[in-house]
Structure 1
Amino acid sequence: MAESMPAVPREQSGRSRPLWREPGVWQLLTVTALGFTSFFLTLGSVPLWAVRGGASDASAGSVTAVMLGFTVLIQTMVPALQRRVGSATLLALGLLALGAPAPFYLLGDHLPGLIAVSAIRGVGFGLLTVVAARLVSQVAPSNRQGKAVGLYGLAIAVPNLLAVPAGAALTSSNHFFWVAVLAACPVLAIPLVRVFRGSDSTAVSSGESGKASPHTSRAPARHGVAGAVRVAIVPSVVLLVVTLSGGGLVTFLPIALSDGQLASITLLVFGITGTLGRWQAGMINDRIGMRLLLPAALVASALGLAAVAAALPGSGDGNAGTIWTVAMLAGAAIFGAGYGATQNLTQIAVFARAGERHAVTASAVWNIFFDAGTAIGSYGVGLVAATGLHLTGTFVVCAVLVAAAVPAAIAAGTRG
């Protein structure tokens, strides 16, 4: 039987013990991996299942829109709910709501039923994302926060790489049954949440004592809830402009490229370097801090997007296409690295600025901006492209927007 987390400052743990052996770390990574596997398995496959049932391409997208809408709605409520029932209970409810309804997709492929199931799962996903992100700052010693956030990012990124194409492939080959069954996997992680039963009392204790790491220190609890929201806004805005661009790239690049194989390879490269960027940025941050690292991630993101935009018109044109294809892949790789690093570093920043006592509020703000940015990019990039800029010009606009956020990135690297 799992033991609850001890109410002692996490700073007392040394570097001699592997991070995964710290109380709660491997449990959190397992919970995260199973939860996001469920989410990513159905992200592209449920809309495809809806199309198989007769829905139009446009209306099928409402399945994802409704799910993320309920995700953002519940994320705004998590801080208040956490104070009432505790992190462990919320995490268990999130895993249950995300996983248990998934087999009900098999009751039919009509849009209203699929939307109803997705709405419930969106509530579960919102609870999972906020609580799990907050627990990252709690289970690891403060001088290893960057590495912990990197491992947390890896637990999300690997399911992203594997589950999205797997779900689409299973559905396309008429095996959606397995998607719906496998998407129930978060339920298996519910017994693991018992280890987090003491995390809320630990948060109060560790928020007021212990030495602070120079780069990822926990701010004293000098902010109220409103103050915690305020200081989390700047890093979250930086995150939003990058995830907006990423959402646009993932959604519209396959539409813009006539070569479906090139689109798949480009997105795979983007995913791989995003995974590596999110993982490695935390460990680099532990050594040098984010004052220069976060602005560098944004510069890389802007340059990568600009390269993708420049390569897009010629990426499929005969002999010249070879050069542009290389530029496309290089741009996607650079943007992916900056995209992943920005996620990691802004997550560290909101916790450092808000303080441990208001980590749940900071986590909610960060997750809301993440999901909102992705949703805006997935819809808004198409609207801008339709004005006559086309996708090439729209990606240039995105690159300029990311570059314009560099001053905010510099500010985000300072204490709130």
Structure 2
Amino acid sequence: MDGGRAARTSLLREPALQALLAVTVLGFASYCLTLASLPTYAVEGGADASTAGVVTAVFLGVTIAAQIAVPALTARFGTGPVLALGLLAMGLPSPLYALDDGLLWLSVLSAVRGVGFGIITVLGALLAAAVAPAERRGEAIGLYGLAVAVPNLIGVPAGVALVLDGHAAWMAWLSASPLLGLLFLPALMRAAAPLVPSPGGGAGRRAVGAALAPSAVLLAVTLAGGGVVTFLPIERPDGALATVALVVMGVGAALARWRVGVLADRLGTRLLLPAGVAVGAVGMALLGAGLRWDDAALLVGVALFGISYGAVQNLTLLTAFARAGAGGATAASAMWNASFDAGTAMGALALGWVAGGLGLPWTYAWVAVLLAVTTPLAVAATRPVAAVARPPEA
């Protein structure tokens, strides 16, 4: 049967998806190479450790602003030109990091790159949903998530290692990788442009409201994730435990974000999304307990949270698109991406203040409670929105 053959055909054979994955890997490689290395680079250049995070804050702040502007930009100029602008803004300034390690200089360059990253994230997620048949959208978003996760596993430690070994110029030049993405853009746009939905009427405003619930669920989970990656290495700076824990979390998140999409195509998101949030709550509770009493519990907790972290990313994006409808897909992607970055930033800042008073184990315990009370919202987030979207599952 044709349906059986279609189900067995790998999406990786689709030229549009191949080009999108190449653009995604090259764009996120630049982001990951600089994410942790630029604060280190600033401190090595004489900046106080307490101010090194300014570079990241500037980058993410501009990224969120750019994400909000993407729907209007694409409505006026088209998806291809805006994505090309994003790749240029992300890649062109990167080699200039090698010229100076001053905090102001690094922040100015990061602001320009934040514009590019905001564009790449919104349009990458949009295109991932557009280039696959509707019944395989979860699988396509899973492959897109894998293309995001692999650079994270490699690029973050590689960027820090290059800076610490005195090779900041290599970090800077390698971070120009989005420019290579321009080579894949014509093929991507030829195949994908006819499939990208065009916003119309009040679709953008309706889509923001429709995507609000899944985006709020994502914000809660990424807040927890920001708190784990920021403060776990500080709490356990000696030995390899924190490093192993972060690797376990990263691998779990990558595999879950990849494979949960196939499950979502078969089963829908109605049960999977609340289950993913609940698993995250259990993981954070074990992580907090493990910090106080047992390293094995810590590793089990961080593994469970990593699975939740990756699965919820895929499932909330699917539900945001389903609730927003075709005409609101760009606005839904912008809302989802802004929530992701805002949650990560809030976790890195707000949880630090809480941990200063309660200690990190109790802070993680309270985050577990937050995720537990978010589970009913995850249930509500999978429900369709009348007159905007079809049900997210059959």
Flag whether TM exceeds 0.5 (same fold): yes
Equivalent in the alignment of 2:360: 391
The runs of 4+ residues in structure 1 deviating greater than 6 Å are: none
Equivalent in the alignment of 2:240: 261
Alignment of 1:60 with 2:30, yes or no, is no
Q: 1:85 to 1:262 in 2, by over 3 A?
A: same
Contact 1:254 1:260 in 2 (8 A): no
Q: Displacement, 1:14? A: 3.1
Q: Percent identity?
A: 49
Q: 1:260 to 1:87 in 2, by over 3 A?
A: farther
Q: Displacement, 1:33? A: 0.6
Q: 1:245 to 1:120 in 2, by over 3 A?
A: same
Matches within 5 A, 1:8-407: 14-197=6-189, 199-204=192-197, 224-314=203-293, 324-387=294-357, 389-407=358-376
Give a deviation string over 1:271-308, Cα, whole Å, max 9, x none.
Answer: 11011111111011111111110011011000000000
Aligned residues: 381
Three-state SS of the structure 2 residue aligned to 1:197 is helix
- Give distance in 2, aligned partners of 1:308 and 1:18: 37
TM-score of the two chains, using structure 2 as the length reference: 0.94
- Give distance in 2, aligned partners of 1:185 and 1:200: 23
Amino acid at match of 1:24: A
Contact 1:203 1:357 in 2 (8 A): no
- Give distance in 2, aligned partners of 1:357 and 1:193: 23
Contact 2:203 2:327 in 1 (8 A): no
Contact 2:253 2:311 in 1 (8 A): yes
Q: Displacement, 1:195? A: 2.9
Amino acid at match of 2:37: S
- Give distance in 1, aligned partners of 2:16 and 2:367: 39
The answer for unaligned runs of 5 or more in structure 2 is: 386-394
Three-state SS of the structure 2 residue aligned to 1:54 is coil
Contact 1:236 1:369 in 2 (8 A): yes
Contact 2:127 2:196 in 1 (8 A): no
- Give distance in 2, aligned partners of 1:24 and 1:373: 31
- Give distance in 2, aligned partners of 1:252 and 1:410: 30
Q: 1:16 to 1:165 in 2, by over 3 A?
A: same
The answer for unaligned runs of 5 or more in structure 1 is: 1-10, 208-220, 315-323
- Give distance in 1, aligned partners of 2:363 and 2:327: 41
Q: Name which of structure 1's ranges 146-155 and 406-415 shifts more when overlaid on structure 2.
A: 406-415
- Give distance in 2, aligned partners of 1:16 and 1:294: 26
Contact 1:31 1:186 in 2 (8 A): yes
- Give distance in 2, aligned partners of 1:200 and 1:414: 29
Q: Displacement, 1:222? A: 9.6
Amino acid at match of 1:310: A
Amino acid at match of 2:296: V
Amino acid at match of 2:94: A
Give a deviation string over 1:24-67, Cα, whole Å, max 9, x none.
Answer: 10000010011001100000111111111100111111000001
Contact 2:284 2:301 in 1 (8 A): yes
Three-state SS of the structure 2 residue aligned to 1:24 is helix
Contact 2:19 2:188 in 1 (8 A): no
Give a deviation string over 1:97-131, Cα, whole Å, max 9, x none.
Answer: 11111000011111111111111001100010001
Contact 1:150 1:280 in 2 (8 A): yes
- Give distance in 1, aligned partners of 2:249 and 2:63: 25
- Give distance in 1, aligned partners of 2:184 and 2:247: 32
Three-state SS of the structure 2 residue aligned to 1:191 is coil
Q: Displacement, 1:201? A: 4.2
Q: Name which of structure 1's ranges 195-204 and 18-27 shifts more when overlaid on structure 2.
A: 195-204
- Give distance in 1, aligned partners of 2:137 and 2:262: 9
